[in-house]
Amino acid sequence: MSNVIINRAETSKIESVDFENLTFGNTFTDHMLVCDFRNGQWEQPVIQPYAPFLIDPSAKIFHYGQAIFEGMKAYKDEHDDVWLFRPDQNYDRFNKSAVRLAMPEIPEEVFIDGLKQLIQIEKEWVKKGNGNSLYIRPFMIAIGSGVIAAPSTQYRFMIILSPAKSYYSGEVKVIIAEHFSRAANGGIGAAKAAGNYSAQFYPTKLANEAGFQQIIWTDDATHTKLEEAGTMNVFFRINDTLYTAPTSERILDGVTRKSLIELAARENIKVEERSVLVAELVEAAENGTLKEIFGAGTAAVVNPIVGFSFQDKYHELPKIENSFALELKSKLTGIQRKELEDTFGWTVKV
């Protein structure tokens, strides 16, 4: 991409980073990409040193929450080549989120080409080896000033990068939501909007205080249909079939989710995309046909769940040897790291 202005940092902080002891999302690389939208058009993107920036106190991001983001990863193979995983899917979803929040769509040459150029500059931050990756956070905020309740006319798109190790949160026990909802019909649940996540923090805090790590969200109208687990899509294995809720206005179209569904089909694992009822899950847990529950998302890829609580009754899941969750995670991460053949054409070389 020829029209990116590059202002390199005078020094790098990479030598001061302990790559063996990284806290997820806390360490950032030397550079970031910035591109502003003003006067009805996108300006020239800039790659510049990672640093804070000034913003007007009346900027609409602070008052009306116009903010969207994506989560992606880059991987380095044994030949020192860096690969992205299905970046086109994140690009498409980012622009769908933008449309839903009345924000301008970002051009592909800024999002995709700009990202590739940024990663080229930060290539040494991508470490080889099992579990190592570079977490990528593209986001857009409203920077136009004024507190009138209307969409902004000015926006800032940015990409920041964070080296990551394997995401491990220990044993995950979940509680099924009976009152709180993640999203509602007609709302912004299908957009990757910042407000979706802030709204989850309080009910998740209550779940944590009760001894659970996450919540399995239920539909807003009846609280009878299982939807997502924490910030992840969720799969249920009953006997030898995987079930997951269909995407909708309330449920995020997860890139990991759709990849696992395609991968499962290749591995002859039956998957059904349909609403799963809470009563159905409880019955399966009680009669022994519920084998696994796992979340699916960019950070953890696959996060097994060891048990769930509903109406103050806890159901422990069995320990099984032929785990679909672990099998699919192994195959998907193998493709991402270029250790297994990518028969789907998902990986894109930087």
Q: How far apart are CA 27 and CA 163, in angstroms?
A: 7
In this predicted structure, what is the pLDDT of residue 168? 65
- Of 260, 209, 211, 203, nearest to 234 by C-alpha is 260
In this predicted structure, what is the pLDDT of residue 2? 55
Question: Can you read off the two tokens belonging to residue 104?
Answer: 């301008």
In this predicted structure, what is the pLDDT of residue 1? 43
In this predicted structure, what is the pLDDT of residue 77? 94
Q: How far apart are CA 32 and CA 51, in angstroms?
A: 8
Which residue matches tokens 């969409």? 151
- Of 226, 237, 311, nearest to 277 by C-alpha is 226
Do 249 and 190 touch, CB atoms closer than 8 A? yes
In this predicted structure, what is the pLDDT of residue 171? 84
Burial of 159 per CB tally in 10 Å (0-12, 13-18, 19+):
buried
Q: Is the dihedral of CA 309, 330, 192, 50 positive or negative?
A: positive
In this predicted structure, what is the pLDDT of residue 169? 66
Q: How far apart are CA 303 and CA 220, in angstroms?
A: 24
Q: How far apart are CA 34 and CA 141, in angstroms?
A: 11
Task: Tell me, rounded to whole angstroms, the distance of Cα 267 from its chain centroid.
Answer: 24
Domains annotated on the chain, with CATH: 5-166 (3.30.470.10), 172-336 (3.20.10.10)
| 280 three-class SS | helix
In this predicted structure, what is the pLDDT of residue 167? 73
In this prediction, the residues of the chain whose per-residue pLDDT falls under 50 are 1
Backbone phi, then psi, for 295, in 5-degree steps?
-90, 155
The single-letter DSSP state of residue 246 is P
